[in-house]
Amino acid sequence: GQNIDQPTEMTATEGAIVQINCTYQTSGFNGLFWYQQHAGEAPTFLSYNVLDGLEEKGRFSSFLSRSKGYSYLLLKELQMKDSASYLCAVTGGSYIPTFGRGTSLIVHP
């Protein structure tokens, strides 16, 4: 089976940087996804990591350490519109993404 753990809620200030952590345990590993979900909307894809290291995409970066079962999503220059839930998902041997409970990020002025 798979177990994914991420903080339930985080708050940050507009313009700041925030790091959302995700730890996982899985039998077999075939990639880790981050999705963003605004309230009442569909999750949308942010990033995918399959090898160790940092993947940068604009204001968002995602890091993976397979040996530690650890990933983080880094959001820079926070904007109010970044207030959303951030979902970490891991694919194991079956390639079926298993999602964590999500981290609700609140960005305040």
Give the footprint of another protein on residues 6-25 (CB under 8 A): none
Query: In this chain, which stretch among 11-19, 38-46, 63-71, 72-80 interacts with another protein, using CB under 8 A?
Result: 38-46
Question: Shortest distance, CB of residue 76 to another protein, whole angstroms?
Answer: 22
Token readout for 50 is: 């399959």
Q: Assess 45 for contact with another protein (CB under 8 A).
A: yes
CA nearest to 89, candidates 12, 38, 11, 29: 29
Q: Assess 62 for contact with another protein (CB under 8 A).
A: no
The smaller minimum CB distance to another protein, of residues 20 and 78, is found at 20
Q: Which residues bind another protein (CB under 8 A)?
A: 4, 30-31, 33, 35, 41-45, 48, 50, 87, 89, 91, 94-102
